[in-house]
Amino acid sequence: MEFRFTDEQNMIRDSAAAFLQDVSTPAAVRKAMVTEAGYDPELWRRICQELCFQAITVPEAYGGMGLGQVELAAVLEQMGRVLLCSPFFATVGLGVNALLLAGSEAQKQQYLPAIVAGELTATLAWTGPQAARRGGQWGCEALGAEWQKTAEGYQLSGELRYVIDGHTAGLLIVAARQAASQGREGIALFCVPAGSQGLNRQWQPGMDQTRHQARIVLNQVCLPESARLAPEADGAAVLETLLDLAKLAMAAEQAGAARQVLDMSVSYMQARVQFGRPVAGYQALKHKAADMLLKCEVSRSAVYYAACVAQEAIDPDGDKTLAGELREAAAMAKAYCSDTFFFNAGTAIQLHGGVGFTWEYDVHLYFKRAKASELYLGSGAAQRELIASLLLG
């Protein structure tokens, strides 16, 4: 595959980079991350109204820009560079993808225009407490909620954790399994509005302060028939595709953040003088920076290959052969970007002479994001195990 950005894609990436570097400064990130919402509503309004990033992958029929996964990855890469505190990943990387993949025409008409207008945020909730056990389980085995059929529609109960922006999202896409079902059987997705009776949400502080998560309790939440997404489809397959797209989105952020900690380290080494010369002149440190750069370049290649595959998977008229590689491509991108980001963040602390972990330096924010994002959706080792199982059968 030969890949290069078009002029339009270059413009989108450059516009995103210029805007985000201006508004998501280290001071702005530190101010937003200590709030319960975890982001600045005014900045989110500007993103929605001035840049329309939230509309990138929404079809024009619903007021969106009708662009693809490559453009989305380009924007997410720039957001990762500045550790943007916003509900973008949850809304677009999870919620919009769920509606596009499995939403009915009525559900798309109801929710997508509101997301495009910046009036609604969304997220995907599926993991129970077991997601953090035995090294992390983030697939169908991690579901924490159950559903059962009622005369009026459906009833959902259970406990969900690690739900990104789940305490502020206006729409929750909840994946649950039918009571008493096991494995891949009985899995379904539902649209749960934030104001639903029986829905309790709490901010769940974690290691990465720049991205907030929530604990959600579903106490016999009653939903109408129209709340279920794609009732005729294989719910497990839909959820797995959603998680593949989420891995791609997360990997794009990680690739951008990994490059940012490299740039921060090089700037620091050029400014710090030791024994009468900038420490950037020492060969051993140059080797460290070269290792970081090499990993960054490979990470970007993995992300944009996976983005091209994802576009074919989403497009109804896409190349089915290439689309069939989505699981492997997404796992490969998540694995390599997770390892790269953590390696670069850890190395950056060393290149900062050990002071990079302190509160005064921003490197520690990237280090915490690196560890949290490495574990979310499965670590690099878990992704490699998945790839091996897919290849070996």
The pLDDT of residue 34: 96
Q: Could you tell me which residues are beta bridge partners of residue 222? A: 155
For residue 182, what pLDDT is reported? 87
Q: Residue 81 — pLDDT band, cuts 50, 70, 90?
A: very high
Separation between Cα atoms, residue 328 and residue 204, nearest integer Å: 31
**Helix, strand, coil percentages in the chain from 3-state DSSP, rounded to 5:** 55, 15, 30
Using alpha carbons only, give the angle 220, 226, 232 rounded to the nearest 5 degrees: 105
How far apart are alpha carbons 360 and 27 in whole angstroms? 11
Alpha helices in the chain (DSSP H): 7-23, 26-33, 41-46, 69-81, 88, 97-102, 105-116, 235-271, 283-314, 320-323, 326-351, 363-375, 380-392
| pLDDT tens per residue across span 124-170 | 999 988 777 755 678 888 899 999 999 999 999 999 999 999 999 99
Indicate if the alpha-carbon torsion angle 121, 127, 129, 135 is positive or negative: negative
| Domain 7-120 CATH assignment equals 1.10.540.10 | yes
Q: Residue 58, Cβ neighbours under 10 Å: how many?
A: 23
Task: Give percent of the chain with pLDDT exceeding 70.
Answer: 99
Average the pLDDT over each of 55-64, 80-89, 134-143 and give the range with the smallest value: 134-143
Q: What's the mean pLDDT in 35-64? A: 96
Task: Put residue 369 in one of left, alpha, beta given phi > 0 → left and psi -120 to 50 → alpha.
Answer: alpha
Both tokens of residue 53? 């990033």
**CA nearest 43: which of 64, 26, 20?**
20
Side chain identity, residue 384? R
Q: How far apart are CA 251 and CA 255, in angstroms?
A: 6
pLDDT at 1 over 70: no
Q: pLDDT tens across 91-114, in order?
A: 999 999 999 999 999 999 999 999
The mean per-residue pLDDT over the stretch 235-262 comes to: 97
Separation CA 296–CA 255 (nearest Å): 6
Q: pLDDT band for 285, please (50, 70, 90 cuts).
A: very high
- Assigned CATH topology for domain 124-229: Butyryl-CoA Dehydrogenase, subunit A; domain 2 (2.40.110)
Does 17 have pLDDT greater than 90? yes
DSSP class of 247: H
Is 90 exceeded by the pLDDT of residue 219? yes
Average pLDDT estimate for 167-174: 98
For the chain, the domains span 7-120, 124-229, 235-392
Of 188-192, 332-336, 389-393, the range with the lowest mean pLDDT is 389-393
Residue 56 has pLDDT above 70, yes or no: yes
Q: Which CATH architecture has domain 235-392?
A: Up-down Bundle (1.20)
Domains 7-120 and 124-229 share a fold: no
Q: How high is the pLDDT of residue 141?
A: 85
Q: Any long-range contacts for 308-314 (C-beta under 8 Å, 24+ apart)? A: 308/1, 308/3, 308/69, 308/70, 310/69, 310/244, 310/245, 310/248, 311/68, 311/69, 311/70, 313/241, 313/244, 314/68, 314/69, 314/100, 314/101, 314/245
